Chain A
Amino acid sequence: MSADHLLIRLADGRTAGEVHDEEVAADQRLEWGLLVKEIISICIVVAVLVVRHLWFV
């Protein structure tokens, strides 16, 4: 396994190096997105508890 793997041509004709950079950037973006989604979920929990406290107890 060596660095010449960067030059291997993939199905769409591009080199593995080009495709790799794009894929890793997209995958990393998705992971950042999960962090945001987790914060949204925590906000949903807090909102439900506030609504409960204000109107439903």
Chain B
Amino acid sequence: MSTLREVAEMADVLGRWTLVVLVMLGAVPLAAASYQFATIGMHAFRNHYDKVEPRFPRVAILIPAWNEAAVIGMSIDRLLELDYPPDRLRLYVVDDASTDKTPDVVIAKGKENPGRVLHLRRDKGGEGKAHTLNHGLVQILADDWMEALLIMDADVVYEPNSLRKMTRHFADPEVGAVTAYIKEGSRPPNWMKRFVGYEYITAQAAARRSQNVLGAMACLAGGAQLHTRANLEAIGGQIDTSSLAEDTFTTFKTQLAGNRVVFDGNATVWAEEPDNIDGLWKQRLRWGRGNVQVSFRYKHMWFRPSPDHGLGSYSFGLFWFCLFLLPIFMIVASASLVALFFIDFPLSWAAFKMLWITNAIGYIFITSFTLMIDPETARNTWREAVTFPGLISLAIIHYTLFPRFFKWALLEVLELVHIPASGPVLRSIILFIYFWLAASMLVAWAAKVVESRRRLRWLSPPLVYISGYGPLLCAIMFSSHIKEARGAEMTWDKTEKTAKVAMP
């Protein structure tokens, strides 16, 4: 009998500590992100600037365009003004069977700039960006004029020196492709564009510098990817059409072919990003599903270090899967906290504090550093930076950091609204904050739902500030997993462009 009791007690203790470990899974993504940010300082030593020299290859700029009449003319003008030898630059606009005035605009620009602006027309459109790019690639590769190919989006605006800053990396023969720092450039930016603007500092200016240090690039930005001709030929001269993440596939193929991919954070281009949740949801769902496809396609590569490329390194795998599995971690951590609440409250409280202290440290480090990485963008987006995790998570972070002050403030608020600070009320509040990691994604999803209701649309931005932009991205990632698991049809939902991009 006593043996049985001992076994039961051991199982009980084991179960509780398993739940604690599962709670701490919720801290892994932010801890991994902090590790990633900690490597950025190394970029001062491990960048590619010691190998750059002036290089001006003949560059073919490939612009896929589907109903881009609002932006394509301005983009062409900007590209022709690049500080780059004019005889070494050609623009190929692949018109994906546009039904607006895109062909008229491009043909007119072609007449103004004979031999420099070329209009290529697809009769059948709407199959996605990869098909459109391939249509142009076939024709560009058939001619030996092109030495380097710049793939971009129709709305992207290049700073005059940005292409030159990208081509200089080709002085190193090991480099197969270069990408630039894409910044949200809509003027004036609304609340959503400010969130995206801040996110792009973290996801591009910061994360890609870290990837330079690690020697493994996750993705060449779709609006700014420059390839050598040799690299394009090495990866088969075509863009992958079987997935929704053609940029990521191209990036992985380049590195697996033994060519280096470099991010130049000082080559800046400006792009227009979605201005509402619906637009963001469609764009990120496509990216998220694409990343799920990449994860499975290269399943034999992860966590297998190779002397030929850095994609199999443990650090790169950790960063990749922390983003990929972030919503799962959040749900598991929340559910485990709630379970512990009913099983062993003191242990749940200790686990909760451990989880949120770790997250608070990560949040302060990443936010303060990100704002300093790009002070120009930070001036417009600091509010979104602070509220990135959401106001409720921010309150929890404040509580874990300054509990004495927060307890006092909470009691004051309860007194103000005439709610007695009794046991049941406090237990309800604790249960709510335990559940919040998962619930924040639900609230973010609710923000999307109310945005589609005309009378409730005004509620959408406040709900995102309350739940957080981060949880909104997690909710989209979760939706990506579900759609991929269900084998949902792959649709190409293009982001609406309105020609609001302006360089400062």
The chain A residues found within 8 Å of chain B, CB to CB, are: 1, 3, 5-6, 8, 10-11, 16-17, 19-20, 23-24, 26-28, 30-32, 34-35, 37-42, 44-45, 48-49, 52, 55-57
Contact = CB atoms under 8 A, between A and B. Distances in A.
Interface string B146-182: 0100000000000011001100101100000000000
A32 B44 contact: yes
16 contacts: A1-B57, A8-B54, A11-B160, A20-B168, A24-B49, A27-B165, A28-B47, A31-B43, A31-B49, A34-B43, A37-B373, A38-B38, A38-B41, A39-B41, A44-B364, A49-B361
B449 to A, nearest CB: 37
Main secondary structure of the interface of A (DSSP, over half): helix
Contacts of B38: 38
Contacts of B147: 1
Nearest to A37: B372
B56 interface: yes
A56 B403 contact: yes
A49 B361 CA distance: 8
A52 B356 CA distance: 14
Interface string B474-504: 0000000000000000000000000000000
B51 to A, nearest CB: 10
Query: Which of B170, B209, B266 has the largest number of chain A CB atoms within 10 A?
Result: B266
Contact of B403 (A42, A45, A49, A57): A57
Contacts of A6: 53-54
A7 to B, nearest CB: 9
Main secondary structure of the interface of B (DSSP, over half): helix
B321 interface: no
Contacts of A49: 361
Contacts of A11: 83, 160
Interface of B: 37-38, 40-41, 43-44, 47, 49, 52-57, 83, 85, 147, 160-161, 164-165, 168, 170-171, 209, 265-266, 361, 364-365, 368-369, 372-373, 401-405
Contact of A8 (B47, B56, B168): B56
Given A1-B57, A17-B54, A20-B54, A27 B49 contact: yes
B55 A31 contact: no
Contacts of B44: 28, 31-32, 34-35
Nearest to B160: A11
Contacts of A37: 369, 372-373
B56 A34 contact: no
A3 B55 CA distance: 8
A40 to B, nearest CB: 7
Query: Which of A1, A17, A26 has the largest number of chain B CB atoms within 10 A?
Result: A1
A52 B406 CA distance: 12
Contact of A20 (B53, B57, B85, B368): B53
Contacts of A48: 364, 401
A40 B369 CA distance: 8
A34 B40 contact: yes
A17 B265 CA distance: 21
Contact of A38 (B171, B266, B364, B369): B369
A32 B364 CA distance: 21
Q: Which 3 A-B pairs have the closest CB atoms?
A: A41-B369, A56-B402, A16-B54
Contacts of B373: 34, 37
Contact of A52 (B49, B165, B401): B401
A10 B167 CA distance: 14
Contacts of A27: 49, 165, 266
Contacts of B161: 23
Contact of B361 (A10, A17, A26, A45): A45
B365 A45 contact: yes
